[in-house]
A and B are shown apart, each in its own frame.
Chain A
Amino acid sequence: MAVELAVIFFSMILVDNYVLVQFLGICPFLGVSKRLDSAVGMSLAVTFVMVMATAATWPIQTFLLTPANPDGSLKWDMGYLQTIVFILIIAILVQLLESILKKYIPALYKALGVYLPLITTNCTILGVTVLNIDNGYDFLESIICAAGAGIGYLVAMVLFSGVRRRVEQAVTPKCFKDLPITLVAAAMVSLSFMGFGGIVESIFGV
């Protein structure tokens, strides 16, 4: 059991990295990775909301939208409401978190503050909640998967903010200035992540 969870966790960070391999959350990746501190702040906020959102949406999907009888058949199927319900839950959750943090943990609010409202439309959050359901993970696996995805996001952001500092000082053709050359650099970082393919399975001997 622990090995399976570890495999999910580390695959999400290295092999199935959301930003560099699965193309989720590219907008904030390009927008916020200019400076290291904002990259870290955004990734921490994303990780936090991801785990919270998974903890909220998994029970709703399992017990409200598609509850199963003991023999495996569905009591009723409202799976078609998934998209609307999930995005509303995420939007509410982000608002709620913002007010709670503001009131009780002002230090964390200050650190995450600006990034929280942006998170509602970050596709990683909706992506991780939907993918957890699609993959048929149980509750614990879903939480671990969400945490791994968040840490993977952090790793990618931190690595890339370093790459970007160097790229910005490089001399590039005029039309490649700014974003185009950043994307080419992202291609190389993503290429290096491809090298992790299969590493988790061989480490844990699965």
Chain B
Amino acid sequence: MSKNSKWKIFTNGFLAENPVLVLVLGTCPTLATSTMASNGIGMGLAATFVLVCSNIVISALRKVIPNQVRIPCYITVIAGFVSVVQMLVKAFVPALDSALGVYLPLIVVNCIILGRAEMFASKNGVLDSALDGLGMGIGFMITLTIMGTIREVLGSGTWMSGLDGLFPFLPEGFAIQVLPESVDPFTIMTSAPGGFFIFGVMMAAATWLTTRPKKEKASAPAEAAEGGNA
């Protein structure tokens, strides 16, 4: 039974409590870095690393941190790990650093991380918190990658371009041409309005997926999503 619940904590972030589509946290990096699928993967990996580490530390310190000053403490822990990620990315994957730009330091204020610290890590054990962080991070990465795929295929006709910056073993200029060159790409999809539009459509799809089997409860998740965006 206990193994089952651990698995549930881990998979919760994939769809049932997907941080972006259901909890509506971390919308800014979602919209900004999903212009290309490879950026989505990079951002997802960076955020997952910070999320797991900060969840572990905060959950280990949850009895030490006084309740009144918990938010500044959490932010300091998170900012420390973000600086680590920033230095690592600058040193080893400079292409990702220039692709993500200001959104890399902005992981500090990504509400997914602070939100999970507050909602989960401050109340649960170290192992559970690490699993929760990992699951949430993977859910975030999957969402970003799917969204990046849709926007990149429609917006520039390619898929996974720029992945060579992330994994150096790939040949330079790596990209999979999905739409033939003769088709004019929908450039609007890679700019701001396309981001909002695809995000809206994906959120509707997630609502539809999570509510479809039990039709009588169709309105409940919409209300839950509403509460999560404060």
Which residues of A does B touch, CB under 8 Å?
A: 20-27, 30-31, 80-84, 86-88, 91, 118, 120-123, 126-127, 130-131, 134, 173-184, 186-188, 190-191, 193-194
- In the complex, the answer to whether B79 meets A88 with C-beta atoms within 8 Å is yes
Max chain B CB contacts within 10 Å: which of A82, A175, A193? A175
- In the complex, the answer to whether B193 meets A191 with C-beta atoms within 8 Å is yes
| Chain B residues within an 8 Å CB radius of A123 | 28, 106, 109-110
A130 to chain B, nearest CB (A): 5
- In the complex, the answer to whether A178 meets B79 with C-beta atoms within 8 Å is no
A151 to chain B, nearest CB (A): 19
- In the complex, the answer to whether A180 meets B229 with C-beta atoms within 8 Å is no
Which residues of B does A touch, CB under 8 Å?
A: 24-25, 27-28, 31-32, 71-72, 75-76, 79-80, 82-83, 86-87, 101-102, 105-106, 108-111, 114, 188, 191-197, 199-201, 203-205, 207-208, 211, 218-219, 222, 225-226, 229-230
- In the complex, the answer to whether A183 meets B102 with C-beta atoms within 8 Å is no
Which 5 residue pairs are nearest across A and B when measured between Cβ atoms? A183-B200, A187-B196, A180-B204, A187-B197, A23-B32
- A-B residue pair count with CB separations less than 8 angstroms: 136
Question: Which residue of chain A has its CB nearest to the CB of B79?
Answer: A84
- In the complex, the answer to whether A178 meets B109 with C-beta atoms within 8 Å is no
| Chain B residues within an 8 Å CB radius of A178 | 222, 225-226
Measured in the bound complex, the distance between the Cα atoms of B111 and A120 in whole Å is 11
Question: Which residue of chain A has its CB nearest to the CB of B105?
Answer: A83
- In the complex, the answer to whether A122 meets B109 with C-beta atoms within 8 Å is yes
B200 to chain A, nearest CB (A): 3
